[in-house]
Structure 1
Amino acid sequence: MRADSRGYSSSAPRSALGMIRDGLDAFVRTSPPRFAIVIFAGLILLFTLLFSLPIATADRSVTPLHDALFTAVSVICVTGLATVDMATHWSAFGNVLVYIGVNIGGIGVLTIASILGLAVSRKLGLRARLIAASDSNPGRIHAGPVNEGQAVRLGEVGSLLVTVAASALIIEIVIAVLMIPSMLAAGFDWWSSLWHSFYYSAMAFTNTGFSPNIEGTAQFANDFWFLSLLMVGVFLGSLGFPVIYTLARSWRKPRKWSVHVKLTLVTTVILFVAGAAAFLLLEYNNPRTYGQLEAGPTIFESFFMSAMTRSGGFATIDMADLNGSSLLVSGMLMFIGGGSASTAGGIKVTTLAVLFLAAFAEARGAPAMEAFGRRIPRDILRLAVSVVLWGATIVAVASIAILQITKEPFDYVLFDVISAFATCGLTTGLTADLPPSGVYIMAATMFMGRVGTVTLAAALAASQKRQLFRRPEERPIVG
């Protein structure tokens, strides 16, 4: 005899669905980050199988395993890198898979796990809320008190999930409708214009960067309306759903915005302007990029490049034509990425902001980090340092491996590896020419970059142990 959830006893054996639900519940309770990674890996394996089917290719051939796997990782991780020609290799079925995959991947690792948990349990319980909340505030996966105001409150996660779906749908539809005139002006028929508009809209909002037409965004290099829409989509997608949620509720009351929202907006704008200024200064006399343009188009292209290197992945020029200094600036912007819980990759802008706040507090001799009249706890600094170190380690190891395999120039290798880690999608052309061994390394880099260094570290680490004693303190020499 056993009691059910309502307190009544029952001797009936559990159904298969009940056993699966109980198993998932135990797995989620044990380690939500591991559950999220398993879900993400499962999606990649599923899409690898689907991309391997002959129906997915235009010539009905079987895509090699390394290409199918790489495409699946790039799609689910919303990266935008490719080892095949995305405009010609895939059939209509394959292109639909790409479109669906980037929208699934754009939602986020932990949010996906929450939605699947909701589908199984038919309600958003406490553990599912914790999973979704950790996607908007990585600090939740660590022991100890967490300031809920940094992202979104636990009780608001249900509303956040609705915002995720609604904002993605509304933004993509609006941008797609506004893109249709540009498609018609480019010579596409009505059906192709409609499909390409929705395709580009999804790729912009999810910060992926795939193009459905052979010439890519270079075909629209002089269409500032179309390029502006791409920038708007990339910008909104890179803000992060907690920020969109806050702006949707209280955009007229900035005083009520959390520190997370303010840091994200301020740092994003600063990087956007600073990046544009850097590209303008470094490329205005480069005849292969902006040297042949007038002042107005050069300024616009600089802002476009600044937006795309933050994780957008679109380009109107060949990235290999950039000066070495511009490649380095691009790598720095890609490594930073966008906002937390967004479709963008990288270490996130709030991570960079926390590091600068710590350095500023140290220079002033202040006892704690402060921003917008609030004190930021020291454990957030430890988390930020961990994210940067893990990210730098992943990029360094992958770069060494690709250098050893390809013997290509270091600046090209570093650029493409950072693009993979930050799920940006910009490339110098190196990725498309990689041998299978290099393809697998880049796929692993994309996976670790998208899943997130914090989530990955939490999933691999053993559970924290309580230490009932403190060792003697001693200060090493630093600097």
Structure 2
Amino acid sequence: MKSLLHPARAVALVFLAAILVGSALLMLPISHAEGSATPWVTAFFTAVSAVCVTGLVVVDTGTYWSTFGQSVILLLFQLGGFGMMTVATLLGLMVNSSFRLRTKMIAQFESRSLRLGDIASVAKLVLVVTFALELIIALSLTLRLHLAYDLPWAEAAWSGLFHAVSAFNNAGFSIHPDSLMRYATDAFILLPVMTAIVIGGIGFPVLHDLRSRFNDPRHWSLHTKLTLIGTTILLLGGFFTLLVFEWSNSATLGPMPFADKALSAAFASVSARTAGFNSIDIGALTQESWAIHYFLMFVGGGSAGTAGGVKVGTAAILAILIIAEIRGHSDSEAFGRRVGASAQRQAITVLMLGSTMIVLGTLFILRETDFPTDQVIFEVISAFGTVGLSTGITGNLPEASQLMLTLLMYVGRVGTITLAASLALGEHRMPYRYPEEHPIVG
């Protein structure tokens, strides 16, 4: 029983339990729009995608599922978006004002940059930011949908709420079959959604740091600085490259005026990093834009937030490590701080395990299907990065390939290091150390 209390194992088990409960609910006839039972693979895939805040679907969310089924999906990606860190913390606050040690350990494991004393403060921040922002975005979308698109108040309110919660949790689920393509030129729809995506995906430790030290950037944690700089670079880089590669593409940005091109390129850059909404046809993108999406989806967003991918912090640590090696420095340093050896090892481990999962997933699906390699790679990275963007082949994949995508979504959401640690027997400190030797590299 002791091993089950390990924080990593608890994270993995809680996510798995949520998936199983969600699958059972979605299999009920009341969840189906036509009142019939849902096949278990469809229910399981949808539950995994929702809990892992991915957004990949094998059936149309708006027409296949009833209002009850859509509500279950919304609840699943709301819980999944919190992450185990926030769920455990909020449960601890509701059940007992004083945390038990295990709850504190679980929360700290998911937000390693925080001290145990910060957990209650972060939990309150999560609660306030989540529901306040979701409410504001939902009201904004509801008003726009009713006033500009003549949707009845009830329909506009449900659509606004569903998309607001989906956006903040970086889930990418939409009750429209074309995602947000019908609003491709509507800044009053896309800008609020983009705002929710960025804030939800930046990570709660960063929000906590900014709240307490907003006017004193010098004292921001190294994690906050790396996340903010990395996020800015990725957003701007994605925006300009997608704008260039899609500028003349008649199937995407080509026919649009400059302002709409800029809006759609910005939305694509924001969404590609983990949210999964699309305002342009992903299947019609150029090969260069697909390559940009590969990178953005793989990196993802901030740690301990609603984003997926290997995380911006991981990519930043690897970049610092590479720069230090090129310069011949023995230490990896940034902003007057030295990056710890354990953080460097974890970053390399996440990169290698993530890359391995993507390669294995791609090979498996290629063996099962005849779809082009580039499309399969896109779906696999989208699943692992819990993004949800698709070239349109997910629903046409055989069941074995769809189950492979569910595995990738689970690993991508729980985290490669978390999953690996949860499967291990426990942490061991070796009572001895072997002599050091330097094998030849390169």
Task: Report the TM-score range of the alignment, normalised by the length of the smaller protein.
Answer: over 0.9
For 1:166, which of 128, 131, 144 is the aligned residue?
A: 128
1:402-413 pair list within 5 angstroms: 402-413=365-376
Match of 1:300 in 2: 263
1:404-443 pair list within 5 angstroms: 404-443=367-406
CA distance in 1, matches of 2:25, 2:172: 21
Displacement after TM superposition at 1:119 (Å): 6.0
Match of 1:79 in 2: 54
- 1:301-349 deviations in Å (ceiling 9; x for gaps): 1111110101111111221101111111101100000000010100000
8 A contact 1:129–1:158 mirrored in 2: no
Match of 1:177 in 2: 139
2:62 alignment partner, SS class: coil
Displacement after TM superposition at 1:162 (Å): 1.6
- Paired AA for residue 88 in structure 1: T
Give the TM-score normalised by the residue count of structure 1. 0.89
1:474/1:317 Cα in 2 relative to 1: closer, same or farther (>3 Å)? same
CA distance in 2, matches of 1:464, 1:37: 16
Match of 1:47 in 2: 22
Match of 1:388 in 2: 351
Residue 105 (structure 1) aligned with residue 80 (structure 2): yes
For structure 1, the residue ranges without an aligned partner over 5 or more in a row are 1-22, 138-150
- 1:397-429 deviations in Å (ceiling 9; x for gaps): 111111111121011000011001111010001
Displacement after TM superposition at 1:215 (Å): 4.0
- Paired AA for residue 167 in structure 1: V
8 A contact 1:118–1:128 mirrored in 2: no
For 2:154, which of 176, 182, 191 is the aligned residue?
A: 191
Residue 70 (structure 1) aligned with residue 37 (structure 2): no
Match of 2:225 in 1: 262
Match of 1:60 in 2: 35
- Paired AA for residue 429 in structure 1: G
Displacement after TM superposition at 1:238 (Å): 0.7
Displacement after TM superposition at 1:294 (Å): 2.1
Match of 2:236 in 1: 273
Give the greater-gyration-radius structure (CA): 1
RMSD: 1.6
- Paired AA for residue 67 in structure 1: T
1:88 alignment partner, SS class: helix
1:171-250 pair list within 5 angstroms: 171-184=133-146, 185-250=148-213
Give the TM-score normalised by the residue count of structure 2. 0.96
- Paired AA for residue 428 in structure 2: K
Displacement after TM superposition at 1:248 (Å): 2.1
CA distance in 2, matches of 1:463, 1:152: 23
- 1:367-413 deviations in Å (ceiling 9; x for gaps): 21111111111221111000011111111111111111112101100
For 2:102, which of 127, 130, 135 is the aligned residue?
A: 127
1:33 alignment partner, SS class: helix
Match of 1:349 in 2: 312
For structure 2, the residue ranges without an aligned partner over 5 or more in a row are none
8 A contact 1:36–1:112 mirrored in 2: no
CA distance in 1, matches of 2:210, 2:96: 31
CA distance in 2, matches of 1:195, 1:130: 37
For 2:415, which of 446, 452, 472 is the aligned residue?
A: 452
8 A contact 1:28–1:127 mirrored in 2: no
Match of 1:7 in 2: none
